[in-house]
Amino acid sequence: MENLSFLKPYKSDLKAIRLILKQWTDPEEVEKYIERIENEINGKTEYNMHFFVLKKDNIVVGVGGIADPPPKSHKFSRFKNPGDIKILYMDNRFRGQGLGRILLEHLEEKAKKFGYDELLIRSAERYRDTAYGFYERMGYESAGRIEGGELGKKMVVFRKAM
């Protein structure tokens, strides 16, 4: 049986987190999230951001984060207190093992504990072939599009009631 753990990140996890982020996103985004994760480790959070890692046999295999949604996303919510999945990335070496589902389910449980009644996820169009179907299988529905989001990207917003 595999040994899985869902934890707050430590400084010692940052190298592995950076490698995962580099597999999926632009260098500017990588460094932005590494800085935000380091800030949380050091007790300085903004936007009610909380990051977590999924470890398998003590190896970081995924990273996720929850926060209050940005103002542009509020119009997509059907509920009073939505949360936002800031990031959800898996190490490519561990894809296809059901670990992304486990990480997202843990984030959803944390979101409920934080009092969110709905989760929103913004996903860039470049993730159409990897993320969109995954979110739909996990019970999220497409709620619309945001143009000119972070770094000027077109993004699809998904939502799910908690």
E-assigned strand segments in 1-72 = 4-7, 50-56, 59-67
Return all residues near 37 (Cβ < 8 A) that are at least 6 apart. 9, 14, 17, 51, 63, 65
Q: For the chain, give every domain's residue range.
A: 4-116
1: pLDDT strictly greater than 50: no
Lookup result for tokens 């580099």: 22
Amino acid 34 reads: I
Q: Which CATH number fits domain 4-116: 3.40.50.2020, 3.40.630.30, 2.40.10.480, 3.40.50.300?
A: 3.40.630.30
Report strand pairing: 4-7 vs 50-56. antiparallel
Separation between Cα atoms, residue 136 and residue 94, nearest integer Å: 20
User: pLDDT per residue over 108-152, tens digit each?
Assistant: 999 999 999 999 999 988 899 999 999 999 999 999 998 865 556
User: pLDDT per residue over 29-83, tens digit each?
Assistant: 999 999 999 999 999 988 899 999 999 999 999 999 999 998 888 899 999 999 9
Global pTM? 0.93
